Amino acid sequence: MAIADNLLAFTLAATLLTITPGLDTALVLRTATVEGKRQGLRAALGINAGCLLWGAAVAFGLGALIAVSELAFNLLKYCGAAYLAWLGVNMLLRPRGSLAPVEATGKPDSNWFLKGMLGNLLNPKVGIFYVSFLPQFIPQGQPLIAWTFGLVSIHVVLGLLWSILLINATQSLAGLLRREQVIRWLDRTTGLVFVLFAARLALSKR
């Protein structure tokens, strides 16, 4: 394929991947709804920072290690599952009932940038996806590192645009979605989703 065809094909494939509901969507929606637009954006930036770091790992060959080493894959897989389970259980057992601490102080009580980034980095499926997916769209003879970062950057831009759409969509319903009962329901629902993703990740195979 020509370079333009490669870029168009990757953009279409990455768009479909981005809008498919998953852990990232759940995290952004929950954070934006419960803790506000700014915190939701922090979570989205963390998720996409994780994508950039995975892209760097793939570009410099570390992603290939995850793809071929059973030990490396399992180690990262179980660390990721444990992290997601920890996040999920905390939301299930200690759902928030009020936004008063955040609104009163103006300071976030959770580092959602870090949580978003770690959730992405501790998922070996992302690394394997990049290892297996990106090379299909790199034209023969083109510089691997530059193209890998270029394609990952396209994915990141699409992810940020989608996250911004999701975050803005929650704001129109902010009054309803920030009621105590709704906040607790959202925390518990998202916690359950995280626990299910953790179990799925822990039981997953290559």
- Is residue 95 domain-resident? yes
- Is residue 89 domain-resident? yes
Number of folded domains that form the chain: 1
The token duo for 57 is 């790992």
Give the domain extent around 74. 3-11+21-203
Query: What's the pTM?
Result: 0.70
- Is residue 146 domain-resident? yes
In whole angstroms, give the CA distance from residue 132 to residue 138: 12
- Is residue 16 domain-resident? no
pLDDT tens digits, one per residue of 116-134: 998 888 877 677 777 767 7
Q: What is the pLDDT along the chain (206 residues), one digit of tens a residue?
A: 578 888 888 888 888 778 766 778 888 888 888 788 899 999 999 999 999 999 888 888 766 676 677 887 788 778 878 877 888 898 888 887 664 444 334 454 568 999 899 888 887 767 777 776 777 777 877 887 888 899 999 999 999 999 999 898 887 766 666 677 877 887 788 788 878 878 877 887 76
Q: What is the DSSP string of 108-141?
A: -SS-HHHHHHHHHHT-HHHHHHHHHHGGGGS-TT
- Is residue 109 domain-resident? yes
Nearest to 197 by CA among 30, 38, 60: 30
What pLDDT is stored for residue 40 in this prediction? 92
- Is residue 88 domain-resident? yes
In whole angstroms, give the CA distance from residue 92 to residue 27: 14
- Is residue 50 domain-resident? yes
- Is residue 107 domain-resident? yes
